[in-house]
Structure 1
Amino acid sequence: MTDALRVVDVVEEQLEAVWGVRQRSFGPGGDKDEWRKTALEFLRDGRYLGVVDGDQLVAAARIWPLEQWWGGRKLPMGGVAGVIVAPEYRGRGVGSLLMRGVLERCAEKGYPLSALYPATTVLYRHLGYEFGGAKYRFAFPAADLRVLGGKGVAVRKAGKEDAQLFLDLASKLHETQRTNGPLVWPLSEIEDWLGDEENFAYVAEDGFVVYNWTDGGLAVGELIAGSEQTARALWATVGSGASTARTVYAVVPPTDPIHLLAEHEAESDPSVIRWMLRLVDAPAAIAQRGFPASVVLDVAVRLEDADLPANAGDWRLSIADGAGTLTAAEPAEDALHLGARGLAALYAGTSMAALRAGGLATGGAAAADPALDTAFGGPASYMVDDF
């Protein structure tokens, strides 16, 4: 790495260079005009960063302004996407330089969390990211869904004017079920999603479904249902295409009720794509997360975080009445030691036993481990979206 390499905000005049690196990184394809339109939105808000060598742009990444559910509460999350490095600059620390700039920008933007789908885990683990959950895609016989019933539930076709309603329905479900992982997109993105003629959207009083055609079958992008009967009605709506589509591919968590409602189990070997999590502002991430109301916890924690030193040091983690705090404290001999990766994994529900066995947690009182498991556990973390 040379002194000429530096992190910059991507400007419009550099988009042609970004496109060139993107093509060399991901291969040919994609609609350049649509990509450029989206890219302009990112750079106008300071969410498109690059690395230049002198005047030459050699790497870039963008940050989505998202929210994410944790413990039934949503908090801001910077979704990192489109990370590209020119082939001739790989292996020279350029990716790390870029991602440190991304983490600093996430902190400046007030995102307590950052998440991404990794092309490689090595780079991101070195920068404090760890697996937080997965995106699961199951395949069900369409005929099974068609007969699920729910005929007493009123279901109507939805459009972009229902975008806020969709957000409200999803929020109600995730808050009630103390969900971990699903994203909250900006309203404009939901409007575009519902306005896409290739998507079929239907809504009931307490739920909705969005699906489309794919590979000769149907693909459910998201289904939210606040009751058994609504779940049956919405899945049956999708299954009504069974005369044309033999299979329905559904992006749902492993614990979704459809696994209990469908007569036959999902086809074997579901698609599982794992994503990684990183705490950008540890005190804010703890304060804004939800916790089980039954948990009462007070433990000393020592955090190590070379890339975001504001997180490093001695803290007191306290949880009570469904809320948590992380406050600066004096060093304690019995402190639980965590690096950025260990903290991210704990936050996402990885058990203390696994963290200790994996070398991501040391010290602390073993007697506190069950309470930590209960505090950060709950429903398995998942997403239904790419970004």
Structure 2
Amino acid sequence: MADDLRLVDVQTEHLDDVLRVRSRSFGLMDSGSRDEWLSNNQVFIDDRRMLGVMDGDELVASARYWPFEQWWGGRKVRMAGVAGVVVAPEYRGRGVGSMVMRGALARAVEQGYPLSALYPATTVIYRHLGYEFGGGRFRYTFPAAELRSLGGKEVSVRRAGPADAGRFLELAGQLHSSGRSNGPLVWPEAKVAEWLGEDNSFCYLAEDGFVVYGWQNGKLRVEELIAGSEATVRALWSIVGSGSSISTDVEAYISPDDPAHLLIAMEADKHAVIEHWMLRVLDAPAAISARGFAPGASLEVDLELDDSELSTNTGRWHLSVSGGSGSLTRVESTGDALRLGSRGLTALYAGTPLASVRKAGLAWGGAAADDGAIDTAFSGSTAYMLDYF
């Protein structure tokens, strides 16, 4: 790597360079998208959430991250959502991508984010930096006529819009907390209002749920549907299915555990679309204390962590779980302990069974008798996101 490559905070005057590199990575943007892109990135710059690599006076790579919260075990955990990782073609394969990502990870830790997540263009670089698969973004296709027949006409439902953004967030929070959800994002209320105000967002609100859907490539597509009762589940899906005379199919971004799979007589189309996303534990004790755990789980076990990128995670820790909460504290004991690298810890955090983590060579040591209790503590619903960022 050339000696004059250096990590910098991206400034407004660098955005033309970033856009040039981005165009070589993802293609050209139209003028409207470009204006929105510039506006969005100014916010990242102002909050010091956009890093770049300079070669002399030219910016040749950049990355940024969103200030999200993410549900884990029914509790919200701050999460840096990495996006827009771009490297000029002539600098690829020279460690520049790793350099800008290390800068982004360090900044996220500095700003107090226990977790980071991203959708990978390639897994190799991100696994090298300690990321591992955390969950998926699942899209299923259902027959619209089946949805239309689900009923729920006794439920009062009204059209909704930007003014209802706070209520949407409130309902999602209540239901993700009670359902001990893993993975869904929490967006700022202003962004939710923006989404609800889009021309192609058809929004409906019930007392204990809501749906947002629209048209995509000639099909109806559900972006989010959340409900606290069977009657509301039926009512909201029926509204979507009422378009069955125009669209024979409805695509839906939902969890693999969503009750729709159990209510609809015919199974979803077998060709489900899954986009995997990756997770990274940045601050191990903060991530554990913020996460929810299985309410009945009780666990006392030592961990030996080895994080080659974030040394503050490395060392001997004691993991304690009870009453749905967990803690990770440093200890000096020297006995056998479950050993995990950053990828192994992340996989475990995301609910991957310990047997699978061991078979992948990402965990070893410790007492086999503890594995069941560890799995129980981290168990829960399938981790999923509805959003691509």
TM-score, structure 1 normalization: 0.99
Quick one: which of 336, 347, 354 aligns to 2:338? 336
Aligned partners of 1:332 and 1:228: how far apart in 2? 52
Aligned partners of 2:335 and 2:235: how far apart in 1? 57
Could you say what secondary structure the match of 1:57 adopts? strand
How far has the Cα of 1:195 moved from its partner?
1.1
Q: Residues 192-211 of structure 1 correspond to what in structure 2 (within 5 A)?
A: 192-211=194-213
Quick one: which of 351, 354, 358 aligns to 1:352? 354
Q: Residues 130-141 of structure 1 correspond to what in structure 2 (within 5 A)?
A: 130-141=132-143
Could you say what secondary structure the match of 2:267 adopts? coil
2:292 corresponds in structure 1 to 290
Could you list the per-position Cα deviations for residues 157-196 of structure 1 after superposition, in whole angstroms to 9, with x for gaps in the alignment?
0010100100000011111110100000011110100111
How far has the Cα of 1:333 moved from its partner?
2.3
Alpha-carbon contact 1:300-1:332 (below 8 Å) kept: no
Aligned partners of 1:272 and 1:295: how far apart in 2? 31
Could you list the per-position Cα deviations for residues 31-55 of structure 1 after superposition, in whole angstroms to 9, with x for gaps in the alignment?
1111111111111111111111121
2:41 corresponds in structure 1 to 39
2:184 corresponds in structure 1 to 182
1:368 corresponds in structure 2 to 370
How far has the Cα of 1:376 moved from its partner?
0.7
2:309 corresponds in structure 1 to 307
Aligned partners of 1:272 and 1:227: how far apart in 2? 27
How far has the Cα of 1:14 moved from its partner?
0.5
Aligned partners of 2:371 and 2:276: how far apart in 1? 25
1:26 corresponds in structure 2 to 26
Q: Residues 38-117 of structure 1 correspond to what in structure 2 (within 5 A)?
A: 38-117=40-119
How many residues were matched structurally?
Answer: 387
Is the aligned partner of 1:5 residue 2:2?
no
Specify the code of the residue in structure 1 equivalent to 2:17: A
Aligned partners of 1:237 and 1:110: how far apart in 2? 42
Aligned partners of 1:315 and 1:121: how far apart in 2? 28
Aligned partners of 2:349 and 2:356: how far apart in 1? 13
Could you say what secondary structure the match of 1:242 adopts? coil
Could you say what secondary structure the match of 2:380 adopts? coil
2:161 corresponds in structure 1 to 159
1:245 corresponds in structure 2 to 247
How far has the Cα of 1:306 moved from its partner?
1.5
TM-align CA RMSD:
0.8
Specify the code of the residue in structure 1 equivalent to 2:56: G
Alpha-carbon contact 1:48-1:62 (below 8 Å) kept: yes
Could you list the per-position Cα deviations for residues 83-112 of structure 1 after superposition, in whole angstroms to 9, with x for gaps in the alignment?
000000000000111111010011011110
Structure 1 unaligned segments of length 5 or more: list them: none
Question: Matched residues, percent identical?
Answer: 59
Aligned partners of 1:331 and 1:130: how far apart in 2? 28
2:171 corresponds in structure 1 to 169
How far has the Cα of 1:220 moved from its partner?
0.3
Could you say what secondary structure the match of 1:367 adopts? helix
Aligned partners of 2:216 and 2:238: how far apart in 1? 18
How far has the Cα of 1:118 moved from its partner?
0.3
Specify the code of the residue in structure 2 equivalent to 1:316: H
Aligned partners of 2:182 and 2:7: how far apart in 1? 33
Structure 1 stretches of at least 4 aligned residues deviating more than 4 Å after TM superposition: none
How far has the Cα of 1:334 moved from its partner?
1.2
Q: Residues 222-241 of structure 1 correspond to what in structure 2 (within 5 A)?
A: 222-241=224-243
How far has the Cα of 1:215 moved from its partner?
1.1
Aligned partners of 1:195 and 1:46: how far apart in 2? 28
How far has the Cα of 1:261 moved from its partner?
1.0
Aligned partners of 2:29 and 2:249: how far apart in 1? 28
Could you say what secondary structure the match of 2:243 adopts? helix
Aligned partners of 2:334 and 2:57: how far apart in 1? 49
How far has the Cα of 1:246 moved from its partner?
1.2
Aligned partners of 1:3 and 1:355: how far apart in 2? 39
Aligned partners of 2:124 and 2:263: how far apart in 1? 40
How far has the Cα of 1:28 moved from its partner?
2.1
Aligned partners of 2:355 and 2:22: how far apart in 1? 41
Could you say what secondary structure the match of 2:234 adopts? helix
Alpha-carbon contact 1:182-1:383 (below 8 Å) kept: yes
Specify the code of the residue in structure 1 equivalent to 2:383: S
